[in-house]
Amino acid sequence: MTHALALLDTLTRPRLLIKAARIGAAQYRRDIHLGRLLDIEPLPDSGAALELLIEIEAALDDARRRRSAEYAVARHLDLLIAIMGEARLIRAAMAPEGATPAQGMAPAPVS
């Protein structure tokens, strides 16, 4: 799980895509968004979900870089929103007890 969080710190994606995902992450609802993106029941824990999302997003980013006709920017944005949302949930769970969000949560992945 911490490996997945460390991997997020190294991702580089277009600024506009990241900016839009940050805006969308504020409205992230795990039960609605994650279920739609992964299409599995029951939903995995945040660590497993984050790893799956990163894997799917990497393939989609590869399609973007290759300028594939199958690339869908809306799906890419949905995946990045879910990645940021799951990362925030993990970081919140790892925060010391009694910490405020500013103390215990690192910012969403930047690139």
User: Along the chain (111 residues), what's the average pLDDT of each consecutive run of 10 residues?
Assistant: 67 90 92 89 90 93 95 95 92 72 44 40
pTM of the full structure: 0.79
Distance separating alpha carbons of residues 50 and 41, to the nearest angstrom: 15
CB neighbours of residue 21 within 10 Å: 23
Q: How does 3-18 read in b/e, with b if 16+ C-beta sit within 10 Å?
A: ebbeebeebebeeebb
Distance separating alpha carbons of residues 98 and 93, to the nearest angstrom: 11
pLDDT at 98: 58
Residue 99, sorted as left (phi over 0), alpha (psi -120 to 50) or beta, turns out to be beta
